[in-house]
Amino acid sequence: MKNFAKNFVKRKEFGIILIVVILSVILTFLSSAFLTVTNIMDFMKSNSVYGIMAFGMLPVLISAGIDLSVSATIALSAVVIGKFMLAFPNSNPVIVILVAMIVGAVVGVVNGLIITKFNIPPIVTTLGVMTIVNGAVLLGTGGAWISGLPQWWVSFGSFKLFGIIPTQLFMLIFAGLVTWLILKFTLVGRGIYAVGGSQSSAVRVGYNVNRILIFIYAFCGMMAGLGAAAHISIVGQVDPNTYTGYELDVISTVVLGGASVMGGTGTVFGTTLGVILMAVLKNGLILARIPNYWQKVVMGLVIIIAVSVDVINRKREQAKLVRVDVEE
């Protein structure tokens, strides 16, 4: 038990938990409303889309890749299911969510195919796809919102189990559970870590790197589609521009949770803590009545610090390995 406690204290997740606790204590003093069940459910609901996107981004970062097209994928998926519901007003939430996830998966497969078949770096590929998809969304909507969604969808989005737990929280839990099962118990999951550690080594031990990469980006797109469904279930209408520019927030959330931008590391537990930390931070800034522009400054600093700490830690680990090799 003592060894477990010592090892846990050394893990990145312990530091995140400590920061969340400290922030929560400070925010409770600043606002008595912070630790109420209603407020906690509300800020988890409002951050559920980021959380779903973060779970999709986790395998991408573990594989040493990056996906800048997630916000555009959310926009496209939202527009498609918005028009789908207007065209088929007698449909149901399950079909709508499946359509959103399929649309997102298609965008992800396109990313994966370009990366693997043409050997174009993920950052360039996903940036290009993001631009194309955003252009297609604006062309198809003219930038106009889609409203008048069926009442059954509005009711689905506003439903709360026991009058407390919102629908979107179940969607977030589903995304986290699926990601955990894939990474923990499947051959593909082990392959994702192997690819992130070293693609050449992954090939030598028998992994089909191209198939794994295509799966990773398809999964990320699928989670973005689920995030789109969660988003429009909250607002009850479709805004094509809602999540434009928020892909870096998602990446920083995953990095804060212990994943590395250089690949090879990352867990669902850590990402969950990263989502909670970002949710607490955003909610705290709002409750503290910090102006919106200062909120953006703070979030920008968080992104820089998170990535910088990750890079510094990785260099230290590499330096230790080099020192061991020299001594041997």
Categorize the per-residue pLDDT at 27 as very low, low, confident or very high, splitting at 50, 70 and 90.
Answer: confident
| CB-count burial class (<10 Å; 0-12, 13-18, 19+) for 185 | exposed
Q: What percentage of the chain's residues is helix, strand, coil (to nearest 5)?
A: 75, 0, 20
What pLDDT sits at residue 247?
Answer: 85
Residue 38 carries which DSSP code?
H
Q: Report phi then psi at 202, rounded to 5.
A: -60, -40
What pLDDT sits at residue 30?
Answer: 73
Is pLDDT larger for residue 261 or for residue 128?
Answer: 128
Q: What is the pLDDT of residues 191-245, one digit of tens each?
A: 999 999 888 888 998 899 999 999 999 999 999 999 999 999 998 888 888 777 7
Assess contact for 30 and 288: CB atoms under 8 A.
Answer: yes
What pLDDT sits at residue 182?
Answer: 96
The 3-state secondary structure of 193-255 reads: HHHHHCHHHHHHCCCCHHHHHHHHHHHHHHHHHHHHHHHHHHHCCECCCCCCCCHHHHHHHHH
CA atoms within 13 Å, Cβ hemisphere of 161 = 8
pTM: 0.89
Residue 328 has pLDDT above 70, yes or no: no
Q: What is the pLDDT of residues 29-54, one digit of tens each?
A: 777 777 778 888 888 888 899 999 99
What pLDDT sits at residue 246?
Answer: 79
Tell me the angle at which helices 12-30 and 268-287 cross, rounded to the nearest 10 degrees: 20
What pLDDT sits at residue 103?
Answer: 96
Residue 165 carries which DSSP code?
E
Residue 181 has pLDDT above 70, yes or no: yes
Q: Which two tokens stand for residue 218?
A: 């398809």
Assess contact for 223 and 43: CB atoms under 8 A.
Answer: no
Closest CA to 267 of 4, 11, 9, 3: 11
Residue 127 has pLDDT above 90, yes or no: yes
Sign of the torsion angle spanned by Cα atoms 262, 267, 273, 275: positive
Q: Which two tokens stand for residue 249?
A: 């927030």
Distance from C-alpha of 16 to C-alpha of 249, rounded to nearest angstrom: 17
- Whole-number average pLDDT of the chain: 85
| Residue 101: count of CB within 10 angstroms of its CB | 22
Q: What is the pLDDT of residues 51-82, one digit of tens each?
A: 999 999 999 999 999 999 999 999 999 999 99
